[in-house]
Structure 1
Amino acid sequence: MQPQRMLKDPKIVELQSAICKIMSNPRRVQLLHILETGEKSVGELVELTGLRKAAVSQNLGLMRGRNLVTARRDGQKVYYSLRSRRLMTACASMEELLDELLALAPERD
């Protein structure tokens, strides 16, 4: 995306801010990394994360509200998956930036 488009379109800036806010929660990042391996049910996500079902459902609901994940019902189970693999590309870019910043940070005692 061109920087000038972001400056001219406040909706883009708002959406980027909202997605960054969603991604600022470690539980949500953990859920996304699990979903990177493929579709999972809420029960599977509870088991893999150790989080309560209510916490998993709440976080998935927030991510679904911003179109980061999709849901598919099969009987009584709901399965979630990533809407776009590009989200994980963005996460990988962030990890590279964090590695760079950590390398520059002075050691603290």
Structure 2
Amino acid sequence: MHLVPAERAGQRTIDGHRVCDAIAAVGEPERVRALAERFSLLSDPGRLALLLALHEAGPIAVTDLALATGMRDTAVSQALRLLRTAGIVEGERDGRIVRYRLVDGPISALLEHCTPQDGEPNGA
């Protein structure tokens, strides 16, 4: 049980090797905080709807995202600003129009895993 911090070393264990595996999986507190912040971006239904739309539709303008998600343009813009700051989406200017796309590989993979494919029941 070499990974157990000294302040917890005296606590009772059942499977010491599993405790070490679990501690290694959790990692540093800063890593856990960073992951929690990343997941918090997905916890808002509006932002999640935008990410699902971007995942499926590719580069798309704010107005079109608003229409697709039922959100107001300003709400879409605010959500995209948060997602852009987090490095999850990026915008590409085409004259006066900015089209956004999903750039974060892990988030894209998560969305792929969580959305049903053709022929699959919802939640599969």
Q: Same fold (TM over 0.5)?
A: yes
Identity %: 29
Could you say which structure has the greater relative contact order, defined with CA pairs below 8 angstroms and 6 or more residues apart?
A: 1
1:30 corresponds to which of 27, 36, 49: 49
2:30 alignment partner, SS class: helix
Task: Count the aligned residue pairs.
Answer: 97
1:74 corresponds to which of 94, 99, 109: 94
Structure 1 alignment gaps of length 5 or more: 101-109
1:88 corresponds to which of 58, 83, 108: 108
Q: CA deviation at 1:58?
A: 0.5
The C-alpha deviation readout for 1:16-74, integer Å capped at 9, x for no partner, is: 11111111001111111110121101111011112111100001111111111011111
CA root-mean-square deviation: 2.5
1:71 alignment partner, SS class: strand
- Give the structure 2 partner of residue 107 of structure 1: none
Q: Which structure 1 residue ranges, 4+ long, deviate > 6 Å from structure 2?
A: none
Q: Could you say which structure has the higher helix fraction?
A: 1
Following the alignment from structure 1 to structure 2, what is the Cα–Cα distance between the partners of residues 95 and 85? 15
Following the alignment from structure 1 to structure 2, what is the Cα–Cα distance between the partners of residues 78 and 38? 13
Following the alignment from structure 2 to structure 1, what is the Cα–Cα distance between the partners of residues 64 and 96? 14
TM-score (norm 1): 0.74
Contact 2:52/2:111 (<8 A) preserved: no
Structure 2 alignment gaps of length 5 or more: 1-20, 117-122
Superposed, which structure 2 residues align to 1:54-69 within 5 Å? 54-69=74-89
